[in-house]
Chains A and B, each alone.
Chain A
Amino acid sequence: ETGVTQSPTHLIKTRGQQVTLRCSSQSGHNTVSWYQQALGQGPQFIFQYYREEENGRGNFPPRFSGLQFPNYSSELNVNALELDDSALYLCASSLGQDNEQFFGPGTRLTVL
């Protein structure tokens, strides 16, 4: 059974650019959640996708958007990057809602 994978591992962008991060959910899981973890902080919930529909959103601006595909993999897109967007972005998958979320290793984004 393959766990949650994320790509790329690391990414460096400049302010104003756009970025796409990818997540492959664990086999059989249909729900994906995204979190932002700033340095020295706990992860903060960005949004969740369940069966290709957004199913809850945290306190993040609209320039953070996402997609979930029919195979339940997911993308996180961030437009107009700001310096404060530098963080570790974590993806977690689960089987349905209200079930244990399994986390990927994360993508480290640096915005210069």
Chain B
Amino acid sequence: GDSVTQMEGPVTLSEEAFLTINCTYTATGYPSLFWYVQYPGEGLQLLLKATKADDKGSNKGFEATYRKETTSFHLEKGSVQVSDSAVYFCALSDRRDDKIIFGKGTRLHILP
């Protein structure tokens, strides 16, 4: 079945460092891809999405490009802030049904 694999955390970086969180997926169809973020004590929020190959999703300085040839959707940010500390989930949704399949999440700590 469809699945998502993302790099394990925790990831600890200093403020203003470059961030990459790797994500690869397995899907039989043509899924939409997402990154969700879960801040401490808050619900899941959609960070960005891409619905077809070569699409780039971006929001709040974060970017991810839908790479069909490598089945990847890596999350990047050029300069992280302490406020980016959270758990990040890579996810996919197959348009045959409406369920979202999540990776296990990557906890990110940003040090001042």
Contacts and interface: CB of A to CB of B under 8 A. Distances in A.
Interface stretch (B14-22, B60-68, B70-78, B95-103): B95-103
B103 A106 contact: no
B43 A48 contact: no
Given A48-B99, A101-B100, A103-B45, 15 more contacts: A33-B98, A33-B100, A35-B100, A42-B4, A42-B89, A42-B91, A42-B102, A42-B103, A45-B100, A48-B98, A55-B98, A100-B49, A103-B44, A105-B41, A105-B42
B99 A42 contact: no
Interface of B: 4, 36, 41-46, 49, 89, 91, 93, 95, 97-105
Interface residues of A, number: 26
8 contacts: A33-B99, A41-B104, A43-B102, A45-B100, A56-B97, A90-B43, A94-B98, A98-B98
- Interface SS of chain B: strand
B104 A58 contact: no
Nearest to A56: B97
Most chain A CB inside 10 Å of its own CB: which residue of B41, B89, B99, B105: B99
Interface in A26-42: 31, 33, 35, 40-42
Contact of A105 (B43, B95, B97): B43
A104 to B, nearest CB: 5
B43 A103 contact: yes
A70 B45 CA distance: 26
Nearest to B91: A42
Nearest to B1: A59
B45 A40 contact: no
Contact of B98 (A31, A40, A41, A103): A31
